A = this chain, B = another copy of it.
Amino acid sequence: MMNALVLQSDFGLEDGAVSAMKGVAHNVSKVIPIFDNTHDIPPFDIWAGSYRLLQTVSYWPKGTVFVSVVDPGVGTNRKSVVVKTKGEQYIVTPDNGTLTHIYEKVGIEAIREIDENVNRLPHSGASHTFHGRDIYAYTGARVAAGVIPFEKVGPELNVSGVIRLPFCEAELIDDAIHGTIDILDVRYGNLWTNISRELFLKLGVSYGNPVEVNILNDSRVIYSNVMTFGKSFAAIHVGEPLVYVNSLDNMAIAINQGSFARAYNIGTGSSWRISIRKR
């Protein structure tokens, strides 16, 4: 049985790097289907790589093998690993924080360190900067094609030792929910928070109700205003802001057909805090 191989990286598509990875994979097996998650992860942004995995894995079949290469530490002693998730999928990646969201939200069944003696593209020994091609794509394709089983990738590691970036859950304190802005819906400039729909609904808010939204960068107030909780953009006029449930079932903030992030110059990460309360 052939499984899909889904690649992501921070390489961009401007040069031949992604093509070389696909060539290596296609050389391993001419019949595994090869797809892209995204290759426009901002350079070295491990958090974004971790998030994009969480955003997508559940839509792919069991058995799918994901290869993620955001690897600022290539050449250090950071480990190269394959994990089997609780969703019965595989992820091949440097163990550098890329597995944070999968660890927290999907769960990891088992993790193995890649033994580079058996899992490295033959004759690729001289370059020490492109493990994405020489190790990750090669190993991912071999697992997807069933050339080697997960169990033969290399020695098993302790799941609790997976490297994780700081990961905060949103909280309901008194009558407000406090969370962070995890990432942008890049193209549209919408803010995606770490506040789940489930937690949000504890505010007792219904579609069409106004809510008060405060956004802080560290302690500085960047935005403070009232907006509608809408089922979709259809609930409001073009140019109006709204709070809505995004495609990952978390709360998001947008300006209908505008860019909220650009309008208020808003970034992402743990210093970007958001609170929402019923009005």
How far, in whole Å, are A134 and B69 apart by their CA atoms in the complex?
A: 28
Contacts of A126 on B, CB cut-off 8 Å?
A: 197, 245, 249
**How many chain copies?**
3
Check if A74 sits within 8 Å of B234, measured CB to CB: yes
Q: Tell me if B232 and A59 are in contact (CB < 8 A).
A: no
| A27-B60, A33-B26, A129-B233 known; A44-B257 Cβ under 8 A | yes
Q: Are A74 and B129 in contact (CB under 8 A)?
A: no
Q: Tell me which of B23, B27, B234 contacts A76 (CB under 8 A).
A: B234
Looking at the assembled complex, report how far the CB atom of A108 sits from the nearest CB atom of chain B, in whole angstroms.
Answer: 19
Interface string of A5-17 (1 = CB under 8 A from B): 0101011111111
- Tell me the count of chain A residues lying within 8 A, CB to CB, of chain B: 70
User: Which of A149-157, A158-166, A185-193 contacts its partner?
Assistant: A185-193
A24 at the interface (CB under 8 A from B): yes
Interface status of A219 (Cβ within 8 A of chain B): no
Q: A74-B233, A126-B249, A232-B129 are in contact. Are A187 and B15 (CB under 8 A)?
A: yes
A37 in the interface, Cβ–Cβ < 8 Å?
yes
Q: Decide: B56 and A20 in contact? CB cutoff 8 A.
A: yes
Residues of A in contact with B (beta carbons under 8 Å apart): 2, 4, 6, 8, 10-24, 26-27, 30, 33-40, 43-44, 52, 55-56, 59-61, 64, 72-77, 126-130, 133, 183, 185-188, 197, 230-235, 244-249, 257
